[in-house]
Chains A and B, each alone.
Chain A
């Protein structure tokens, strides 16, 4: 079943046309790689379909809800409850321990500290980084930090994980580990993954790819 569908997305930053009629369709539980050269508009596409950036025109539907018609607070509520995010770096709160970082989204949703930390502990173990629970992000390696970030993205049980170059700052071995753990966990929980990457070996963890070039996307599923 289609979970997320965007059509005719146009987005400009000043005179730069980042998106020029892009579309994409994401089904429940599938892992889709969004590929394309730097500056092709792939990150902008991700930001638009994740409700982070409003497009200038075009529509984004999550199930039967139109993201472009929502208020900012409705969109941020949707992001918090249905979506998870993993970026290249800089997403963990440096002052909090890794455990507190993973527990944070649950705390923000009003869960009790003890329950939130118990869930966070489970997710850190699933991502094989329970050893750094009490450390701050700055004290962990790049690969460990990304796995903590993946745990934080998954802890709320999101339906879609948006990952923008999640292995961009890692070496091959650590990157592969993160991709393996991320896709395995997503498949186990039934979450879809929208994975922006320019690395073919990272894209090889996906079920299919959507190629973005010059602000337009080529999505085989979308054409159906």
Chain B
């Protein structure tokens, strides 16, 4: 399955989960996967390397060891600095990054410069975008509310790309004149 959900800060997500109370690593992984994992669950390595970084930065602290049959399980608790960090993360907007346009723009310009069909580049891309959107729509239809919201996020972003594609397609002739100048 495709993954268009933007990569998110695992550290902040784990901190946010720890605000509900101390947990051990395995427990955190499960909670993360359930809420945010969707297509790609965390590896244990990621969980423990992230936790050790948070520990080093004083954002979490060790909160005892859970006794059991298996290996010892350290519990982690969020610190005041950790809570402040989560608050800062939540109140800072994500950088609105134009990510795909640069590549697509380059393709269109290069197609025009080399005498290839820019309209075809755009048509091919539209078709690929729509296919991904169809898959997301199907997944949304079969999914629960969390799936729907995550798919909708991706769908709106893909739609934005497509709007740009349509606008560019409508201006290809004009662009050709400028590129060839």
Interface set of A (CB-CB < 8 Å, partner B):
37, 180, 198-201, 203-207, 209, 211, 213, 218
Contacts and interface: CB of A to CB of B under 8 A. Distances in A.
A209 B130 contact: yes
22 contacts: A180-B141, A198-B166, A200-B129, A200-B133, A200-B162, A201-B137, A201-B155, A201-B156, A201-B159, A203-B133, A204-B130, A204-B133, A204-B137, A204-B155, A205-B134, A206-B134, A207-B134, A209-B126, A209-B127, A209-B130, A211-B123, A218-B123
Contacts of A213: 169
Contacts of B169: 213
Residue from B123, B129, B156, B166 whose CB has the most chain A CB atoms within 10 Å: B166
Given A200-B158, A200-B162, A205 B123 contact: no
B136 interface: yes
Interface of B: 123, 126-127, 129-130, 133-134, 136-137, 141, 155-156, 158-159, 162-163, 166, 169-170
Contacts of B130: 200, 203-204, 209
B166 A37 contact: yes
Contacts of A218: 123
Contacts of A209: 126-127, 130
Q: What 8 A-B pairs come out closest when comparing CB atoms?
A: A204-B133, A204-B137, A200-B162, A200-B159, A204-B134, A201-B159, A201-B155, A37-B170
